[in-house]
């Protein structure tokens, strides 16, 4: 992979890491325990609990993505970076820029 592309990819990964860390902070705030003494009504409380569980799942996915992004950032300078780990063909630059944590090409990811 060309050195210019690696610089562009490194910038993209760093940007994604920053965005993901901000999202994790927001999701962490939203997943704080719901106080039982809050007078929000039974139905509203059930909705809040349901929303909290959805946000917790989103938080877990964001943390997984952050780990993958940090791993990808450490691998940018490797010779095999940008190659599919299954078929060994180059991963298109567009896919790497959109999903820098992707380690497989589109065909192998299905």
> Does the residue 86 lie in any domain?
no
pLDDT at position 40 is 62
Report the pLDDT value the prediction gives residue 44, as an integer from 0 to 100. Answer: 76
Greatest extent of the chain over all pairs of C-alpha atoms, in Å:
60
Flag whether 99 is in a domain.
no
Residue 42 has pLDDT above 90, yes or no: no
Residue 37 is predicted with a pLDDT of 61
**How many C-beta neighbours within 10 Å does residue 28 have?**
14
Q: What is the mean pLDDT of residues 2-14?
A: 80
Domain of residue 34: give its range: 3-79
**Integer Cα distance of 52 and 80 in angstroms:** 40
What is the pLDDT averaged over residues 76-100?
88
Does 59 map to a domain?
A: yes
Residue 107 lies in a domain: no
* Number of structural domains in the chain: 1
């Amino acid at each position: 992979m060309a050195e210019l592309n690696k610089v562009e990819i490194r910038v993209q990964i760093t940007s994604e890491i920053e965005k993901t860390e901000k999202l994790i902070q927001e999701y962490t705030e939203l997943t704080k325990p719901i106080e039982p003494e809050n007078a929000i009504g039974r139905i509203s409380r059930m909705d809040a609990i349901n929303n909290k569980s959805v946000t917790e799942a989103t938080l877990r996915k964001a943390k997984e993505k952050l780990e993958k992004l940090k791993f990808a950032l450490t691998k940018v300078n490797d010779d095999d970076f940008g190659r599919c780990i299954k078929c060994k063909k180059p991963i298109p630059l567009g896919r790497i820029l959109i999903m820098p944590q992707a380690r497989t090409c589109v065909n192998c990811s299905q």
